[in-house]
Chain A
Amino acid sequence: MAHYAMVIDTRKCIGCQSCTVACRIQNDLATELIYNPVVTVGPKGIFPNVFMRHVPLLCMHCANTPCVDACPTKASQQREDGIVWVEQEKCVGCKACIMSCPYGARASHDGVVWKCTFCKDRVDEGEKPHCVNTCHQKARFFGDMEDPESEVFQLVNSNNADCLLNELNTQPSVYYI
Protein backbone atom coordinates (compact mmCIF):
# COMPACT_ATOMS: atom_id res chain seq x y z
CA MET A 1 0.00 0.00 0.00
CA ALA A 2 1.26 3.44 -0.89
CA HIS A 3 2.11 5.91 1.85
CA TYR A 4 1.97 9.44 0.50
CA ALA A 5 4.49 11.98 1.69
CA MET A 6 5.66 15.44 0.79
CA VAL A 7 9.20 16.75 0.82
CA ILE A 8 9.77 20.51 0.86
CA ASP A 9 13.18 21.85 -0.05
CA THR A 10 13.45 25.08 1.95
CA ARG A 11 16.66 25.96 0.08
CA LYS A 12 14.56 26.45 -3.05
CA CYS A 13 11.47 28.09 -1.53
CA ILE A 14 11.45 31.86 -2.05
CA GLY A 15 8.33 32.56 0.02
CA CYS A 16 6.21 33.71 -2.92
CA GLN A 17 3.01 32.21 -1.40
CA SER A 18 1.95 30.83 -4.79
CA CYS A 19 1.14 27.52 -3.12
CA THR A 20 -0.95 29.31 -0.49
CA VAL A 21 -2.97 31.10 -3.18
CA ALA A 22 -3.32 28.01 -5.39
CA CYS A 23 -4.58 25.98 -2.45
CA ARG A 24 -7.12 28.59 -1.43
CA ILE A 25 -8.45 29.16 -4.95
CA GLN A 26 -8.49 25.58 -6.19
CA ASN A 27 -10.05 24.26 -2.99
CA ASP A 28 -12.45 27.23 -2.84
CA LEU A 29 -11.60 27.87 0.81
CA ALA A 30 -13.51 30.27 3.02
CA THR A 31 -11.84 33.61 3.69
CA GLU A 32 -10.68 32.70 7.17
CA LEU A 33 -9.14 29.36 6.15
CA ILE A 34 -5.49 29.00 5.19
CA TYR A 35 -4.37 25.39 4.84
CA ASN A 36 -0.97 26.17 3.52
CA PRO A 37 0.79 29.33 4.76
CA VAL A 38 4.44 30.03 4.11
CA VAL A 39 6.17 31.43 7.18
CA THR A 40 9.56 33.08 7.30
CA VAL A 41 12.33 32.33 9.77
CA GLY A 42 14.69 35.24 10.12
CA PRO A 43 16.45 37.27 8.91
CA LYS A 44 18.84 36.42 11.74
CA GLY A 45 22.51 37.15 12.36
CA ILE A 46 24.80 40.08 11.58
CA PHE A 47 25.94 40.99 8.09
CA PRO A 48 27.58 39.28 6.29
CA ASN A 49 26.53 36.16 8.26
CA VAL A 50 22.78 36.47 7.87
CA PHE A 51 20.21 33.74 7.52
CA MET A 52 16.62 33.61 6.33
CA ARG A 53 14.44 30.67 5.35
CA HIS A 54 10.86 30.24 4.16
CA VAL A 55 8.95 27.31 5.61
CA PRO A 56 5.67 26.23 4.01
CA LEU A 57 3.36 24.78 6.68
CA LEU A 58 0.52 22.37 6.17
CA CYS A 59 -1.08 19.32 7.76
CA MET A 60 1.74 16.87 8.41
CA HIS A 61 -0.50 13.81 7.80
CA CYS A 62 1.17 12.16 10.77
CA ALA A 63 1.37 8.38 11.03
CA ASN A 64 0.78 8.73 14.75
CA THR A 65 -2.24 11.02 14.64
CA PRO A 66 -3.19 12.91 17.80
CA CYS A 67 -6.11 14.52 15.93
CA VAL A 68 -7.70 11.24 14.79
CA ASP A 69 -7.23 9.77 18.27
CA ALA A 70 -8.89 12.80 19.85
CA CYS A 71 -11.95 12.88 17.59
CA PRO A 72 -14.99 11.56 19.47
CA THR A 73 -17.12 11.14 16.33
CA LYS A 74 -14.72 9.41 13.90
CA ALA A 75 -15.06 12.45 11.61
CA SER A 76 -11.27 12.77 11.60
CA GLN A 77 -9.98 9.80 9.71
CA GLN A 78 -6.80 8.43 8.24
CA ARG A 79 -6.80 6.49 4.99
CA GLU A 80 -4.58 3.46 4.46
CA ASP A 81 -2.32 5.60 2.29
CA GLY A 82 -1.69 7.91 5.27
CA ILE A 83 -3.85 10.85 4.21
CA VAL A 84 -5.70 12.44 7.13
CA TRP A 85 -9.00 14.12 6.38
CA VAL A 86 -12.22 15.27 8.03
CA GLU A 87 -15.67 14.02 7.07
CA GLN A 88 -17.57 17.24 7.75
CA GLU A 89 -20.97 15.51 7.91
CA LYS A 90 -19.80 13.65 11.02
CA CYS A 91 -17.98 16.56 12.65
CA VAL A 92 -19.69 18.14 15.68
CA GLY A 93 -17.20 21.01 15.98
CA CYS A 94 -15.89 20.05 19.42
CA LYS A 95 -12.40 21.32 18.46
CA ALA A 96 -10.71 18.37 20.18
CA CYS A 97 -8.64 17.80 17.03
CA ILE A 98 -7.74 21.48 16.71
CA MET A 99 -6.49 21.52 20.28
CA SER A 100 -4.55 18.28 19.92
CA CYS A 101 -2.83 19.10 16.61
CA PRO A 102 0.74 20.22 17.40
CA TYR A 103 1.06 21.92 14.00
CA GLY A 104 -2.01 24.18 14.13
CA ALA A 105 -3.11 22.58 10.88
CA ARG A 106 -6.84 22.69 11.55
CA ALA A 107 -9.40 25.45 11.78
CA SER A 108 -13.10 25.67 12.46
CA HIS A 109 -15.48 27.28 10.03
CA ASP A 110 -19.25 27.09 9.82
CA GLY A 111 -19.35 24.89 12.92
CA VAL A 112 -17.09 22.14 11.62
CA VAL A 113 -13.36 21.54 11.22
CA TRP A 114 -11.37 22.00 8.01
CA LYS A 115 -7.86 20.98 7.03
CA CYS A 116 -5.50 20.13 4.19
CA THR A 117 -6.30 16.75 2.63
CA PHE A 118 -3.22 16.49 0.39
CA CYS A 119 -5.86 17.14 -2.35
CA LYS A 120 -6.91 13.52 -1.91
CA ASP A 121 -9.41 13.57 -4.77
CA ARG A 122 -6.65 14.61 -7.17
CA VAL A 123 -4.26 12.07 -5.69
CA ASP A 124 -6.85 9.34 -6.27
CA GLU A 125 -6.81 10.31 -9.95
CA GLY A 126 -3.04 10.11 -10.13
CA GLU A 127 -2.53 13.87 -9.92
CA LYS A 128 -0.41 15.80 -7.45
CA PRO A 129 -1.72 18.32 -4.90
CA HIS A 130 -2.26 21.87 -6.19
CA CYS A 131 0.53 23.29 -4.03
CA VAL A 132 3.03 20.91 -5.62
CA ASN A 133 1.89 21.63 -9.15
CA THR A 134 1.97 25.38 -8.73
CA CYS A 135 5.44 25.66 -7.14
CA HIS A 136 7.57 27.24 -9.87
CA GLN A 137 10.72 26.73 -7.79
CA LYS A 138 10.15 22.96 -7.76
CA ALA A 139 10.58 23.09 -4.01
CA ARG A 140 7.84 20.57 -3.30
CA PHE A 141 7.94 16.86 -4.02
CA PHE A 142 5.01 14.51 -3.58
CA GLY A 143 4.80 10.76 -3.95
CA ASP A 144 4.82 7.32 -2.42
CA MET A 145 7.24 7.06 0.47
CA GLU A 146 7.13 3.25 0.26
CA ASP A 147 8.25 3.11 -3.37
CA PRO A 148 12.08 2.90 -3.55
CA GLU A 149 11.97 4.21 -7.11
CA SER A 150 10.18 7.42 -6.19
CA GLU A 151 11.91 10.75 -5.81
CA VAL A 152 10.19 11.25 -2.47
CA PHE A 153 11.57 7.96 -1.13
CA GLN A 154 15.08 8.99 -2.03
CA LEU A 155 14.72 12.47 -0.57
CA VAL A 156 13.13 11.20 2.65
CA ASN A 157 15.97 8.76 3.11
CA SER A 158 18.62 11.33 2.37
CA ASN A 159 20.68 12.58 5.27
CA ASN A 160 19.25 16.07 5.42
CA ALA A 161 15.48 15.44 5.44
CA ASP A 162 13.88 16.28 8.76
CA CYS A 163 10.43 16.78 10.26
CA LEU A 164 8.97 19.48 12.49
CA LEU A 165 8.53 18.73 16.20
CA ASN A 166 10.12 15.30 15.89
CA GLU A 167 10.29 15.07 19.64
CA LEU A 168 6.52 14.62 19.84
CA ASN A 169 6.73 11.29 17.99
CA THR A 170 3.84 12.12 15.67
CA GLN A 171 5.78 10.70 12.71
CA PRO A 172 4.83 13.33 10.11
CA SER A 173 4.60 12.56 6.39
CA VAL A 174 5.90 16.02 5.51
CA TYR A 175 9.66 16.35 5.43
CA TYR A 176 11.86 19.43 5.13
CA ILE A 177 15.26 19.78 3.55
Chain B
Amino acid sequence: MESKHGDNWGWMLAVDFFFAGMGGAAVATAGILDFAGLGLTSAAAGFAGAVCIGIGALLLILELGKPLRAWRVFTNPKAVLTFGAWNMTLAAGLGFAFGTFALPFAPWAGVIALKKIVAGLGVITGLIVAAYPGVLLARHKARPFWHGPGIIALFLTSSLVTGLSLHLLCHALLPAANPVLMGPLSIAAVILLALQLVFWLGYILVKRSAGTEYEAAAAERLVSGDLAAGFLAYLAGGTLLPLLLIGQASPVLTALGALLTVGGGALMRLLTIKAGEYRTWLPGEQSFRARLARGDEAFMTAWAQ
Protein backbone atom coordinates (compact mmCIF):
# COMPACT_ATOMS: atom_id res chain seq x y z
CA MET B 1 0.00 0.00 0.00
CA GLU B 2 1.23 3.46 -0.77
CA SER B 3 2.68 4.58 2.50
CA LYS B 4 3.86 8.10 1.80
CA HIS B 5 3.03 10.89 -0.56
CA GLY B 6 6.63 10.88 -1.74
CA ASP B 7 5.77 7.97 -4.02
CA ASN B 8 5.22 10.24 -6.97
CA TRP B 9 7.27 11.18 -9.95
CA GLY B 10 9.64 14.01 -9.10
CA TRP B 11 10.87 17.12 -10.84
CA MET B 12 13.53 15.25 -12.79
CA LEU B 13 10.91 13.32 -14.73
CA ALA B 14 9.07 16.56 -15.49
CA VAL B 15 12.29 18.11 -16.77
CA ASP B 16 12.98 14.91 -18.74
CA PHE B 17 9.58 15.28 -20.39
CA PHE B 18 10.48 18.88 -21.20
CA PHE B 19 13.90 18.21 -22.72
CA ALA B 20 12.78 15.08 -24.56
CA GLY B 21 9.69 16.79 -25.97
CA MET B 22 11.59 19.88 -27.04
CA GLY B 23 14.43 17.81 -28.50
CA GLY B 24 12.08 15.45 -30.35
CA ALA B 25 10.18 18.37 -31.86
CA ALA B 26 13.46 20.08 -32.80
CA VAL B 27 14.64 16.93 -34.62
CA ALA B 28 11.28 16.67 -36.39
CA THR B 29 11.36 20.36 -37.31
CA ALA B 30 14.86 20.03 -38.77
CA GLY B 31 13.64 17.15 -40.95
CA ILE B 32 10.51 18.99 -42.07
CA LEU B 33 12.55 22.08 -42.99
CA ASP B 34 14.87 19.90 -45.02
CA PHE B 35 11.97 18.29 -46.87
CA ALA B 36 10.57 21.74 -47.54
CA GLY B 37 13.87 22.70 -49.08
CA LEU B 38 14.55 25.37 -46.47
CA GLY B 39 17.62 23.81 -44.89
CA LEU B 40 18.93 24.11 -41.35
CA THR B 41 18.34 27.16 -39.19
CA SER B 42 21.97 26.90 -38.19
CA ALA B 43 24.61 24.23 -38.19
CA ALA B 44 24.08 23.78 -34.46
CA ALA B 45 20.28 23.40 -34.66
CA GLY B 46 20.63 19.94 -36.15
CA PHE B 47 22.52 18.78 -33.08
CA ALA B 48 20.50 20.75 -30.54
CA GLY B 49 17.55 18.38 -30.63
CA ALA B 50 19.75 15.35 -30.09
CA VAL B 51 21.53 17.02 -27.17
CA CYS B 52 18.20 17.93 -25.54
CA ILE B 53 16.93 14.36 -25.85
CA GLY B 54 20.21 13.16 -24.35
CA ILE B 55 19.79 15.50 -21.36
CA GLY B 56 16.22 14.24 -20.94
CA ALA B 57 17.39 10.63 -21.01
CA LEU B 58 20.06 11.40 -18.42
CA LEU B 59 17.49 12.94 -16.08
CA LEU B 60 15.19 9.97 -16.60
CA ILE B 61 18.00 7.63 -15.55
CA LEU B 62 18.80 9.73 -12.48
CA GLU B 63 15.12 9.63 -11.47
CA LEU B 64 15.20 5.82 -11.33
CA GLY B 65 15.50 4.04 -8.00
CA LYS B 66 18.15 1.78 -9.55
CA PRO B 67 19.92 3.86 -12.22
CA LEU B 68 22.48 1.15 -13.00
CA ARG B 69 19.69 -1.10 -14.25
CA ALA B 70 18.42 1.58 -16.66
CA TRP B 71 19.01 -0.64 -19.70
CA ARG B 72 16.09 -2.78 -18.57
CA VAL B 73 13.59 -0.08 -19.59
CA PHE B 74 14.11 -1.24 -23.17
CA THR B 75 12.88 -4.76 -22.49
CA ASN B 76 9.06 -4.59 -22.48
CA PRO B 77 7.80 -3.57 -25.92
CA LYS B 78 4.21 -3.42 -24.65
CA ALA B 79 4.96 -0.63 -22.16
CA VAL B 80 4.59 3.02 -23.19
CA LEU B 81 7.77 3.89 -21.29
CA THR B 82 9.73 1.32 -23.30
CA PHE B 83 8.24 2.64 -26.54
CA GLY B 84 9.24 6.14 -25.49
CA ALA B 85 12.74 5.07 -24.48
CA TRP B 86 13.37 3.40 -27.86
CA ASN B 87 12.04 6.40 -29.75
CA MET B 88 14.12 8.80 -27.66
CA THR B 89 17.22 6.78 -28.49
CA LEU B 90 16.38 6.63 -32.19
CA ALA B 91 15.40 10.29 -32.42
CA ALA B 92 18.59 11.39 -30.65
CA GLY B 93 20.72 9.22 -32.95
CA LEU B 94 18.91 10.40 -36.07
CA GLY B 95 19.05 14.04 -34.94
CA PHE B 96 22.78 13.75 -34.41
CA ALA B 97 23.25 11.98 -37.75
CA PHE B 98 21.16 14.63 -39.50
CA GLY B 99 23.29 17.37 -37.96
CA THR B 100 26.45 15.84 -39.41
CA PHE B 101 25.16 16.51 -42.92
CA ALA B 102 25.77 20.20 -42.22
CA LEU B 103 29.45 19.54 -41.55
CA PRO B 104 31.37 20.20 -44.77
CA PHE B 105 34.12 17.70 -43.94
CA ALA B 106 31.67 14.79 -43.47
CA PRO B 107 32.15 12.35 -46.41
CA TRP B 108 28.39 11.72 -46.57
CA ALA B 109 27.45 15.41 -46.55
CA GLY B 110 26.60 15.37 -50.24
CA VAL B 111 24.61 12.12 -50.28
CA ILE B 112 21.14 13.63 -50.62
CA ALA B 113 19.19 10.35 -50.63
CA LEU B 114 20.75 9.29 -47.34
CA LYS B 115 20.03 12.72 -45.86
CA LYS B 116 16.37 12.46 -46.87
CA ILE B 117 16.05 9.02 -45.26
CA VAL B 118 17.63 10.27 -42.02
CA ALA B 119 15.43 13.37 -42.09
CA GLY B 120 12.27 11.31 -42.70
CA LEU B 121 12.98 8.88 -39.88
CA GLY B 122 13.91 11.83 -37.68
CA VAL B 123 10.53 13.45 -38.33
CA ILE B 124 8.65 10.27 -37.39
CA THR B 125 10.60 9.43 -34.24
CA GLY B 126 10.86 13.10 -33.25
CA LEU B 127 7.09 13.57 -33.38
CA ILE B 128 6.57 10.37 -31.38
CA VAL B 129 8.97 11.65 -28.70
CA ALA B 130 7.16 15.00 -28.71
CA ALA B 131 3.80 13.35 -28.10
CA TYR B 132 4.69 10.34 -25.95
CA PRO B 133 4.76 11.99 -22.48
CA GLY B 134 1.17 13.04 -23.09
CA VAL B 135 0.23 9.52 -24.17
CA LEU B 136 1.92 8.12 -21.07
CA LEU B 137 0.02 10.42 -18.72
CA ALA B 138 -3.31 10.08 -20.54
CA ARG B 139 -3.40 6.34 -19.76
CA HIS B 140 -3.48 6.89 -15.98
CA LYS B 141 -7.11 6.10 -15.28
CA ALA B 142 -7.00 7.03 -11.61
CA ARG B 143 -5.05 10.27 -11.97
CA PRO B 144 -7.90 12.72 -12.55
CA PHE B 145 -5.84 15.56 -13.93
CA TRP B 146 -4.01 13.47 -16.51
CA HIS B 147 -6.56 10.98 -17.70
CA GLY B 148 -8.02 11.48 -21.15
CA PRO B 149 -6.78 12.44 -24.62
CA GLY B 150 -6.72 16.19 -23.91
CA ILE B 151 -3.35 16.02 -22.24
CA ILE B 152 -1.79 14.57 -25.41
CA ALA B 153 -2.75 17.73 -27.29
CA LEU B 154 -1.27 19.87 -24.51
CA PHE B 155 2.05 18.04 -24.53
CA LEU B 156 2.31 17.81 -28.32
CA THR B 157 1.59 21.51 -28.75
CA SER B 158 4.06 22.47 -26.04
CA SER B 159 6.75 20.18 -27.44
CA LEU B 160 6.31 21.55 -30.95
CA VAL B 161 6.42 25.18 -29.87
CA THR B 162 9.45 24.68 -27.63
CA GLY B 163 11.17 22.74 -30.45
CA LEU B 164 10.52 25.62 -32.83
CA SER B 165 11.76 28.05 -30.19
CA LEU B 166 14.97 26.07 -29.91
CA HIS B 167 15.48 26.55 -33.64
CA LEU B 168 14.72 30.27 -33.30
CA LEU B 169 17.25 30.56 -30.47
CA CYS B 170 19.90 28.71 -32.47
CA HIS B 171 19.17 31.00 -35.38
CA ALA B 172 19.48 34.10 -33.23
CA LEU B 173 22.52 33.08 -31.23
CA LEU B 174 24.58 31.13 -33.76
CA PRO B 175 25.72 31.69 -37.34
CA ALA B 176 22.60 31.24 -39.45
CA ALA B 177 22.60 28.98 -42.46
CA ASN B 178 19.42 30.37 -43.89
CA PRO B 179 18.14 33.77 -42.67
CA VAL B 180 14.92 33.43 -44.69
CA LEU B 181 13.71 30.84 -42.20
CA MET B 182 13.03 33.24 -39.34
CA GLY B 183 9.72 34.39 -40.85
CA PRO B 184 8.04 30.99 -41.38
CA LEU B 185 9.36 29.63 -38.07
CA SER B 186 8.07 32.66 -36.18
CA ILE B 187 4.63 32.38 -37.78
CA ALA B 188 4.44 28.68 -36.91
CA ALA B 189 5.50 29.43 -33.33
CA VAL B 190 2.88 32.16 -32.95
CA ILE B 191 0.13 29.83 -34.25
CA LEU B 192 1.21 27.08 -31.85
CA LEU B 193 1.38 29.49 -28.91
CA ALA B 194 -2.16 30.66 -29.66
CA LEU B 195 -3.29 27.02 -29.88
CA GLN B 196 -1.50 26.26 -26.62
CA LEU B 197 -3.37 29.06 -24.87
CA VAL B 198 -6.74 27.90 -26.22
CA PHE B 199 -6.03 24.23 -25.41
CA TRP B 200 -5.06 25.00 -21.83
CA LEU B 201 -8.05 27.23 -21.17
CA GLY B 202 -10.32 24.58 -22.70
CA TYR B 203 -8.66 21.80 -20.73
CA ILE B 204 -9.08 23.58 -17.41
CA LEU B 205 -12.66 24.49 -18.26
CA VAL B 206 -13.55 20.89 -19.15
CA LYS B 207 -11.82 19.44 -16.09
CA ARG B 208 -13.56 21.91 -13.78
CA SER B 209 -17.03 21.66 -15.23
CA ALA B 210 -17.47 18.41 -17.13
CA GLY B 211 -15.28 15.96 -15.24
CA THR B 212 -15.54 14.18 -11.91
CA GLU B 213 -15.23 15.96 -8.57
CA TYR B 214 -11.61 14.79 -8.41
CA GLU B 215 -10.85 16.27 -11.83
CA ALA B 216 -12.44 19.53 -10.75
CA ALA B 217 -10.38 19.56 -7.54
CA ALA B 218 -7.16 18.89 -9.47
CA ALA B 219 -7.92 21.68 -11.94
CA GLU B 220 -8.81 23.98 -9.07
CA ARG B 221 -5.25 23.67 -7.76
CA LEU B 222 -4.09 25.41 -10.93
CA VAL B 223 -6.80 28.05 -10.89
CA SER B 224 -6.89 29.09 -7.26
CA GLY B 225 -4.87 26.57 -5.29
CA ASP B 226 -1.22 26.00 -4.47
CA LEU B 227 -0.21 25.83 -8.16
CA ALA B 228 -2.12 28.94 -9.25
CA ALA B 229 0.86 31.32 -9.16
CA GLY B 230 2.94 28.98 -11.31
CA PHE B 231 0.11 28.43 -13.73
CA LEU B 232 -0.50 32.15 -14.10
CA ALA B 233 3.21 32.67 -14.71
CA TYR B 234 3.10 29.96 -17.37
CA LEU B 235 0.07 31.41 -19.15
CA ALA B 236 1.25 35.01 -18.96
CA GLY B 237 5.03 34.71 -19.18
CA GLY B 238 5.39 31.41 -21.03
CA THR B 239 2.58 31.74 -23.54
CA LEU B 240 0.95 35.17 -23.86
CA LEU B 241 4.09 37.31 -23.70
CA PRO B 242 6.01 35.17 -26.22
CA LEU B 243 2.94 35.32 -28.44
CA LEU B 244 3.43 39.09 -28.59
CA LEU B 245 7.23 39.03 -28.82
CA ILE B 246 7.85 36.32 -31.41
CA GLY B 247 7.35 37.66 -34.90
CA GLN B 248 8.42 41.18 -34.02
CA ALA B 249 10.83 42.77 -36.47
CA SER B 250 13.57 42.79 -33.86
CA PRO B 251 15.54 39.52 -33.70
CA VAL B 252 16.31 40.28 -30.05
CA LEU B 253 12.61 40.37 -29.16
CA THR B 254 11.97 37.20 -31.12
CA ALA B 255 14.84 35.47 -29.30
CA LEU B 256 13.49 36.72 -25.96
CA GLY B 257 10.06 35.35 -26.86
CA ALA B 258 11.61 32.01 -27.79
CA LEU B 259 13.50 31.92 -24.50
CA LEU B 260 10.32 32.62 -22.54
CA THR B 261 8.52 29.88 -24.49
CA VAL B 262 11.21 27.38 -23.58
CA GLY B 263 11.04 28.39 -19.92
CA GLY B 264 7.26 28.15 -20.04
CA GLY B 265 7.48 24.63 -21.46
CA ALA B 266 9.60 23.51 -18.51
CA LEU B 267 7.21 25.16 -16.04
CA MET B 268 4.21 23.53 -17.75
CA ARG B 269 5.71 20.04 -17.26
CA LEU B 270 6.44 20.70 -13.59
CA LEU B 271 2.91 21.97 -12.99
CA THR B 272 1.29 19.10 -14.87
CA ILE B 273 3.25 16.43 -13.01
CA LYS B 274 2.48 18.15 -9.71
CA ALA B 275 -1.24 18.50 -10.52
CA GLY B 276 -1.48 14.78 -11.25
CA GLU B 277 0.02 13.55 -7.99
CA TYR B 278 -3.36 12.99 -6.31
CA ARG B 279 -5.13 9.75 -7.11
CA THR B 280 -8.84 9.21 -6.99
CA TRP B 281 -9.27 8.33 -3.31
CA LEU B 282 -10.76 5.04 -2.25
CA PRO B 283 -13.50 5.10 0.41
CA GLY B 284 -11.94 6.09 3.74
CA GLU B 285 -8.41 6.22 2.34
CA GLN B 286 -7.88 9.94 2.61
CA SER B 287 -8.46 10.11 6.37
CA PHE B 288 -6.32 6.99 6.89
CA ARG B 289 -3.37 8.54 5.08
CA ALA B 290 -3.82 11.83 6.91
CA ARG B 291 -3.37 9.97 10.21
CA LEU B 292 -0.20 8.14 9.21
CA ALA B 293 2.88 9.28 11.09
CA ARG B 294 5.54 10.45 8.69
CA GLY B 295 9.20 11.23 8.96
CA ASP B 296 9.99 8.81 11.77
CA GLU B 297 10.64 5.74 9.61
CA ALA B 298 14.41 5.79 10.14
CA PHE B 299 14.03 6.06 13.92
CA MET B 300 11.36 3.35 14.02
CA THR B 301 13.52 1.01 11.93
CA ALA B 302 16.53 1.54 14.20
CA TRP B 303 14.39 1.18 17.31
CA ALA B 304 12.88 -2.10 16.09
CA GLN B 305 16.35 -3.53 15.62
Contacts and interface: CB of A to CB of B under 8 A. Distances in A.
A133 B298 CA distance: 30
A92 B65 CA distance: 6
A57 B1 contact: yes
B81 interface: yes
B116 interface: no
A70 B9 CA distance: 14
A42 to B, nearest CB: 8
Interface string B18-62: 000000000000000000000000000000000000000000000
Interface string A83-101: 0000000111111101111
Contacts, number: 141
A103 B75 CA distance: 26
Interface stretch (A71-79, A122-130, A147-155): A71-79
A168 B282 contact: no
A30 interface: yes
What secondary structure prevails in chain A residues at the interface with B? Answer: loop
A98 to B, nearest CB: 5
Contact of B64 (A36, A94, A98): A94
A93 B82 contact: no
B7 A98 contact: yes
A104 B304 CA distance: 26
Interface residues of A, number: 51
A22 interface: no
Given A36-B1, A72-B73, A90-B72, A99 B282 contact: no
A31 interface: yes
A92 B70 contact: yes
A57 B285 contact: yes
Contacts of B81: 70, 72, 94, 96
Given A30-B301, A40-B287, A107-B1, A100 B140 contact: yes
Given A72-B81, A106-B2, A92 B72 contact: yes
What secondary structure prevails in chain B residues at the interface with A? Answer: loop
A57 B7 contact: no
A104 B282 contact: yes
A94 B76 CA distance: 13
Given A72-B75, A73-B75, A73-B76, A104 B1 contact: yes
B1 A34 contact: yes
B3 A168 contact: no
Given A31-B297, A32-B4, A107-B4, 12 more contacts: A30-B301, A39-B283, A42-B284, A66-B139, A70-B80, A72-B85, A92-B64, A92-B67, A92-B72, A93-B65, A101-B142, A105-B1
Interface of A: 30-37, 39-42, 53, 55, 57-58, 66, 69-75, 90-96, 98-108, 110-113, 116, 164-165, 168, 170
26 contacts: A31-B297, A31-B300, A37-B288, A39-B287, A41-B284, A55-B284, A57-B285, A70-B80, A71-B76, A72-B73, A72-B82, A73-B69, A73-B76, A91-B65, A91-B69, A92-B66, A93-B65, A95-B9, A96-B81, A100-B140, A102-B280, A106-B2, A107-B4, A116-B1, A164-B282, A165-B142
